[in-house]
Amino acid sequence: MWNPDGSGRHPPVDLSTQSSSSSSALLGSIRAQREAREAHRRRQAAATTVQRVWRGRTAAAATRQDILTSLESGASVGEGARALLLLLRGRGERVRVARVLDSWTTAALASDPNGPAFRSLLMADASGFGVLLARILRFVSTNPRTETSARLLSVLETFLKPAAYADIPDRAAEVVAALGSNAWVETLSDITEALAAAKRRHALLLPVIRLVTAPSILVPLTPASPLVAPLIHTFLAVPALPSSIPLPSLTHLSATLPLFTVLLPTAAANPSLLSQGRLVGELERTYFLANLATFGITGGMLARSGTPGMDAWMAVLGTLLPTLGDGWGMWAERSVSGGASAVPLIDNDDSEEEAIVSSAPVRARLPPGVAKPLALLASPQHVGTLASHAITAGSLSHFSEFALSILGAFRGSPKWEGTLDALLDGSRGRALVKLLWREGVRGKWSNKADQWTWFSKNPNKPMLLLVTHLFSHYLLLTPDDEFFSTSNPLSLDEVLELSSTWRDLAFWGYLNGVGTDARGAGTEAERRLFTQGVVRITERNGRRKFAPDEHWVMDADLRSGFIDAVKYEDELLETGGAVKYEHGVVAGGTGGDRVAHLQQRMSWRQLANSHVSPRLGLLINLPMAVPFATRLQVFREFIRADRKRLGIRRYGPARHRVEIRRSHLAEDGFRQLNSLGSGLKNIVEITFVDKWGNQEAGIDGGGLFKEFLHKLSKEAFDTERGLWLANLRNELYPNPHSYASEPHQLAWYGFIGRLLGKALYADILVDVTFAGFFLAKWLGRQSHVDDLASLDRELYRGLIQLKNYPHPEELSLTFSVAEDEFGVAKSVDLIPGGSEIPVTAENRHEYIALVCKYKLDRQFAAQSEAFFAGLSDLIDPRWLRMFDQNELAQLLGGEEAPIDLLDLRKHTTVSGFDDERTPAMFWRVVDSFSEDQKRQLLTFVTSCSRPPLLGFAHLNPPFGVRNAGQDKSRLPTASSCANLLKLPDYKDEAMLRAKLLQAITSGAGFDMS
């Protein structure tokens, strides 16, 4: 009751303001008093709880003492069982409990004419008896290494012998159900791990393992049994189980544990079991997989399991392996080899500019008993056995998921490539690829955008992914002669249809973006895989054409405004978001901040692949899906944007003025222009100086620089100068001789790279043809054995013969190559001590790869690096990677196509003639020329034998024909700097033809008039 004087139950609350200096002080005082009251109540509640627990514990201890006293004074088997059920719920008094357990179990096992005494317990309460056995086992688990524990384990075995239950099978089922519901398997798993930790192959593990299987011997297991789940997610996750138990126990376990008949099929049907119990962490799942590998692969159980067992095995592994972290396979492999325990994941992808690097967690090294079995999961024998099964049993979908899980788990490990090699091996590999193609790809995918949007929901996804991995790997390893032979598992039409599926999915992957499996869209890794497949097919097609023109192009699916969108995305990445899209969408503020933030964490390529720039990602990664004309326009737009950024006007004032002596053209050009570096992008005005030292008349509006570039390129690429060599097709590549790598020569390679960059930057065609392998380097591609054909066809043929030669030891080859410089022979080791290592059937593939790497990379390394450094001063390498090597050749020198005379005539400027008679005769004469003669005319006028890309409308300056006067004895001349033909006003067609042919074949040329 409340009293005004504060003497009631609650302490008084002072509401006056006399002692408070402010309202905040008053509120603080009230709050403090309230918190004090709450603390007082909490203390009282805690005291009450302590008292209650103490009284309960005291009462329980007293009851325990009473039960122990009762049991020690003697009790019947039934009374003793009921007492023990209560007693074994608690802890303590272990010695006394052990004594009464000994006494009771002796009495329970005593026999009379009706059998063992414990049968009466079974008949009265079989479930209670099962619970009692589980509690006895739990008592053992508290200290399993004592003599008492050993006796009790033996007693438990006796209690579960099938003979005691022969006539009461229903009671046996009740006992087993009670064991399963009372952590029987979990307790035995803890005992197993404790004993194994104390001593490997501990003697007490013999009865423990027998107790694990005793219930399943008593009552055969079914998927519904409560023992099945803990056997899967707990017992099989005991670390290094097979190597920790005695050999008799291992034999017993292998013979009696229904691994392939019950456990794995149940886990396959209920995948959630694989994330319960101990299988919640990566380490425990690793133990589980190692145990499976030992039982299934080493023990041969998998090979004997039949179709259902193999399918369940593949399903379980296919479920578990994808849940493991990055670098798991490398971790397992390094644990065997003794490498570093912290393994970063590095997965090289030769279709990417950078390696894909993920940070793997730091993991402790696995024990050998765990690590070695894990390596068997990716062994050729294991993978091959399951591949054969999938082919014969038609289990391609299950097998595909399994194989993909192996590839994912061992990504970044040498076993990743070994798995692909095993799957592609021999006739089985060809049959597998063919079946995957027929069952998972042919006729099952369309080119619509929703195929990517719902990619992860498509039931054929695993088969498509696996055949993509396999055939992409096949493309990487297989030389052209084998690819175009009958040994190819797919016909060329099938290859094209498969590549069309890859193209469609990758195309929509870039335009619509990647997602997660839950959303349905394909992932970044899947998009990259399809892109890699398309790139490898197009590289093959570039060397030997087998695809129709425009096969890769998705022109109809490119939305309008594509080029403007690409320009916007590129500027967005370059500026961190502070640009305005031409169609009115402003990327500033929050969006710009987001891009700038991404720039700090991602490379340019990663940004291009992201949602920030889908069209740019398409151009960089899958350029062949975009029409060549569109890509060429994008290339020119990039250059235009670069000029704008630098303030360069195409026809603005010159930034650099140089004098070039015609007699020292290369020397003067190198001396005055090489040091400009990227400054060569600016306008360069050329003044020629004749052999008498006089400046030639004329103002350079771009034509004189073009003439200088053409003349210098002819001189620089002359093979007599020693910087370049030519193959049998007269295609150029850097001279590999050592003198070409001297500093002065390397400076020249850099200068030539800048000149070609200037030609591309200024849209000037250069009449030069490079070897295919060298052009591939412009695109950042790795070199392959087939690229060697464009360097040394004889060596290429020899290596292909070596690849198929039955006894390479007979050839007496070593891991070295012979070189000849100026008549001096020398041997170069491909690997340390290579001249002492013979080439054999086992290592010939490595030898072939090393020869290719040396010939195509090592011997040109310095020269190529200098050249590309110069080229990149003017041309961003990513701009060039929108093209393949054949398109790059066209970009440099024009189209390798017949000259379209109608197009030339349409875009030719004719001037100075009184009437159309002479021009008409000119066109009739040119029309009668052979293709070679037309090319000679084009070279005569423009300095390049090939027509410009996309036609003569893009020739700059335009092709021109001008009246050169009435002197009909003169030959036609040309100003190639202006693309101008100076044609005397011939009135006779035969004379015009004869004079024109004489001019274009005699080397007559530049005229400054």
Write the single-letter amino acid at 69: T
Residue 472: both structure tokens together: 């992409």
Is residue 228 within 8 A of residue 221, CB to CB? The reply is yes
**545, exposed or middle or buried, with CB in 10 Å at 0-12, 13-18, 19+?**
exposed
From the list 977, 981, 983, 996, the catalytic residue is 977
Residue 102: both structure tokens together: 């000994």
Distance of alpha carbon 995 from alpha carbon 922, whole angstroms: 11
Q: What does the angle CA 72 – CA 76 – CA 77 come to, to the nearest 5 degrees? A: 105
- DSSP structure string for 296-348: IIISSTTTTSHHHHHHHHHHHHHHHGGGSPTTHHHHHHHHHHT--SB--EEE-
Q: Could you give the C-alpha distances from 709 to 181, 648, 731, 789, 980, in angstroms and in order?
A: 88, 20, 19, 30, 17
- Nearest 10 degrees: CA dihedral of 904, 909, 914, 915? 30
- Give the pairing type, strands 959-963 and 973-975: unpaired
- Give the pairing type, strands 816-821 and 824-829: antiparallel
Q: Could you give the C-alpha distances from 314 to 262, 299, 309, 894, in angstroms and in order?
A: 15, 17, 9, 55
Nearest to 573 by CA among 529, 610, 522, 536: 610
Helices 562-575 + 614-621 axis angle, to 10? 100
Distance of alpha carbon 775 from alpha carbon 756, whole angstroms: 13
Residue 57: both structure tokens together: 């514990």
User: Which residues share a beta bridge with 346?
Assistant: 357
Cis peptide upstream of residue 947 (ω within 30 degrees of 0): no
Is residue 129 within 8 A of residue 81, CB to CB? The reply is yes
Q: What does the angle CA 168 – CA 174 – CA 176 come to, to the nearest 5 degrees? A: 105
Q: How many CB atoms lie within 10 A of CB 998?
A: 12
Distance of alpha carbon 650 from alpha carbon 652, whole angstroms: 6
Nearest to 144 by CA among 189, 108, 105: 189
Residue 972: both structure tokens together: 């036609």
Residue 944 is a catalytic residue: no
Helix residue ranges, H only, 717-792: 743-761, 772-778
Residue 815: both structure tokens together: 């891991």
Buried b (16+ CB within 10 A) or exposed e, 824-847: eeeeebbeeebeebebeeeebeeb
- Give the pairing type, strands 959-963 and 980-983: parallel
Q: Could you give the C-alpha distances from 663 to 660, 693, 697, 976, 1003, in angstroms and in order?
A: 9, 10, 17, 19, 18
Provide the annotated active-site residues: 977
